[in-house]
Amino acid sequence: MNILLIYPEFPDTFWSFKHALKFIRKKASFPPLGLLTVAAMLPSEWSKRLVDVNVTKLTEEDLAWADYVFISSMVVQRTSVQQIIKRCNEAGVKVVAGGPLFTNEHEQFKNVDHFILNEAELTLPPFLEDLKNNCARRVYSTSNFADIQKTPVPLWELADLSQYASMSIQYSRGCPYHCEFCNVTSLFGRSPRNKTAEQIIAELNSFYRMGWRGSVFFVDDNLIGNKKVLRNELLPALIKWQKEHVPIPFNTEVSINLADDEPLMSMMSEAGFHAVFVGIETPDTDSLAECNKKQNKNRNLVDDVRRIQRAGLQVQAGFIVGFDNDTPSIFQRQIDFIQKSGIVSAMIGLLQAPAGTKLYERLKREGRLLGQMSGDNGDGTTNIIPTMDIDTFQEGYKNILRHIYAPENYYQRIKTFFREYKAPKIKEQFTFSHIMAFFRATYHLGILSKERVQFWKLLLWTYFHRRELLPLSITLAIFGYHYRKVSKLHVL
């Protein structure tokens, strides 16, 4: 059996980093973790190929070779998915589809032969058994949650790792919180399930042996969902692993209450974590209550961010406008919070309602849904009817982006961050790629760009005040270039 695994293209989004990747000559941020994990669950005697259309083209020869195409997708990849399915249909190759997009919207895809929905650890085995017996059904789904301590190591050897900026690992699924707009709990539940430390070390070793020495993103929706297991099992294992290998930096996602646990932050830094993404959403208390963001209420969020930064963890964050309790003052309040906190990578989105969320169901009852969401939190679109006047809403959103990504304000925010940030002990290995990125950045941002004055001011300030952060200042300058490109593309 010949199995072609296809990963659809990501559009130009905040998190795609397409414009930043050009500086380091990479094609994509991450390899397709889920699809490569599924590949490891398929019979070993089957022939397998990966086509990630973010890094290579899907050819007619690929489709002619395949007996089945397996495709996995998130909502933001919907357009590419439709194009790929059409090509598969024209080539006469059967399509097996899974992932969050299909779990929520499989009824919309009439030309897919088989759906492996929810968690593949549970729904893939019965499909494979039925396929062997020539009685495969069209839809395989479950309301149960998988034991991910039985999940295999992804088949990294199918991917060309040299094309990616970072690797990825999943340690846990599920989140103890239930925010109204978030579909994590509907997909994975509220009781975090984790892999063993031994599994994570095995995954690290698998691509370390292949020569990987770059950063690794723990894709968990909330790494600290189970602090006890994290503290007692995973982090000690990672600290030990880092001491025995050429150390590599980690990034992940957490909830803001990490700021309450100094020992845990210290352990994370010692284990090699450099940055954490936090869903801050809004400084408005009423809006936090509206969306059930309990973990963010009754806190000084700016002080929380600074405590995390001082522990050696850069805070990246998501923000939302468009809650029912938002008034026109929210736009300036978001700007003020972002600038004051020194959150350099600040993703601002209009509120969207994913299928399967409490928000989706509430707005459906209220007759305030506008169809499917795009899945891109930063493209200036929404699938809801807001309570605020629509013109005020859209112009206020655009004004946030104009302000926070304007070079003067963006570079000032980097300096605000650097004043608080404790440089990590574990640094990414300096390579020829980094040297070339430095020269490309100084040429494009320091000579050709209109922001060149701010660029050189930042580098000089960093040199005299936080010299050890010069590489990070270049990285963040490149990120800013990408954020401005994306903002202008979508909404400015």
Cβ contacts of 175-179, under 8 Å, gap ≥ 24:
175/221, 175/222, 175/225, 175/255, 176/222, 176/225, 177/222, 177/255, 177/292, 177/293, 177/294, 177/295, 178/292, 178/358, 179/279, 179/281, 179/291, 179/292, 179/293
Decide if 159 is inside a domain.
Answer: no
User: Mean pLDDT in the chain?
Assistant: 96
- Pairing relation of β-strands 68-72 and 47-52? unpaired
**Is 487 domain-assigned?**
no
Of 108, 55, 103, 113, the closest CA to residue 79 belongs to: 108
Token couple for 194 = 């984790």
The pLDDT score that the predictor gives to residue 101 is 96
- Total domains in the chain come to 2
What is the percent of the chain with per-residue pLDDT over 70, rounded to a whole number? Answer: 99
The domain in which residue 394 lies consists of 166-420
Q: What is the pLDDT of residues 172-185, one digit of tens each?
A: 999 999 999 999 98
Residues 82 and 221 in one domain: no
- Interval 333-337 mean pLDDT: 98
In this predicted structure, what is the pLDDT of residue 395?
Answer: 94
Query: In the structure encoding, which two tokens stand for residue 20, read together?
Result: 């930043």
How far apart are the C-alpha atoms of 415 and 314, rounded to whole Å? 13
- For residues 237-244, give the mean pLDDT: 98
- Looking at the structure, tell me whether residues 259 and 178 fall in a common domain: yes
Q: Say if residue 201 is exposed, middle or buried (CB neighbours under 10 Å; 0-12, 13-18, 19+).
A: middle
pLDDT band at 377; cut points 50, 70, 90: confident
Q: Is residue 92 very low, low, confident or very high in pLDDT (cuts 50, 70, 90)? A: very high
> Given 420, 437, 459, which residue is the final one in a domain?
420
- One domain for residues 250 and 359: yes
Residue type, 478: I
pLDDT (0 to 100) of residue 492: 59
pLDDT of residue 461 exceeding 70, the answer is yes
Assess contact for 31 and 52: CB atoms under 8 A.
yes
Clarify whether residues 80 and 229 are in a common domain: no
CA–CA distance, 269 with 99 (Å, rounded to integer):
32
Residue 371: predicted pLDDT: 87
Same domain, 270 and 398: yes
Mean pLDDT of 81-91: 98
pLDDT in tens, 44-63: 999 999 999 999 999 999 99
Hey, is 104 helix, strand or coil?
Answer: helix
Q: What is the CATH number of the domain that holds 30?
A: 3.40.50.280
User: Across residues 153-174, what is the average pLDDT?
Assistant: 97
Contact residues for 411 (Cβ-Cβ < 8 A; gap 6+): 451, 454, 455, 457, 458, 477, 480
Beta bridge partners of 168: 217
Categorize the per-residue pLDDT at 427 as very low, low, confident or very high, splitting at 50, 70 and 90. confident
The mean pLDDT value for 393-408 works out to 95
User: Does one domain contain both 98 and 47?
Assistant: yes
Q: What is the pLDDT of residues 341-355, one digit of tens each?
A: 999 999 999 999 999
The answer to whether the beta carbons of residues 384 and 363 sit under 8 Å apart is yes
The closest alpha carbon to 483, from 395, 403, 417, belongs to 403
> CA geometry: angle at 173 spanning 381 and 234, to 5°?
125
3-state class of 14 per DSSP? coil
CA distances from 182 to 113, 125, 377, 468 (A): 29, 29, 12, 38
32 with 174, same domain: the answer is no
- On the question of pLDDT at 416 being above 90, the answer is yes
DSSP H stretches of helix in 6-77: 18-21, 33-41, 60-65
Q: Is residue 39 part of a domain?
A: yes
pLDDT at 430 over 80: no
- Is the pLDDT confidence value at 426 over 90? no
**197 is written with which tokens?**
């430390």
pLDDT(278) > 80: yes
Q: Of 331, 309, 306, 303, nearest to 319 (Cα)?
A: 331
- Would residue 378 count as lying in a domain? yes
Q: What is the rounded CA–CA span in Å between residue 179 and residue 186?
A: 11
Is 69 in contact with 111 (CB distance < 8 Å)?
no
266: confidence class by pLDDT, cuts 50, 70, 90: very high
The stretch 183-198 carries a mean pLDDT of 94
**Residue where one domain finishes, among candidates 385, 420, 455:** 420
Q: What is the pLDDT of residue 327?
A: 96
Residue among 334, 303, 339, 482 at smallest CA distance from 411: 339
Residue type (1 letter), 83: Q
Same domain, 115 and 171: no
One domain, residues 67 and 185: no
Find out whether 88 and 63 touch, Cβ atoms under 8 Å.
yes
Mean pLDDT of 80-99: 98
Backbone angles phi, psi at 25, to 5 degrees: 55, 45
Q: Distance between CA atoms of 351 and 130, rounded to whole angstroms?
A: 41
- The Cα 188–Cα 191 span in angstroms is 8
For the segment 308-330, what is each residue's pLDDT rounded down to a tens digit? 999 999 999 999 999 999 999 99
The confidence score (pLDDT) of residue 425 equals: 80
CATH number at residue 202: 3.20.20.70
439 part of a folded domain: no
The answer to the question of residue 425 being in a domain is no
How much is the pTM? 0.95
Contact 101, 78 (CB under 8 A): yes
Residues 82 and 173 placed together within one structural domain of the fold: no
Give the pLDDT mean for 363-380.
90
State the pLDDT confidence band at 380, using cuts at 50, 70 and 90. Answer: confident
With left for phi above 0 and alpha for psi between -120 and 50, is residue 321 left, alpha or beta?
beta
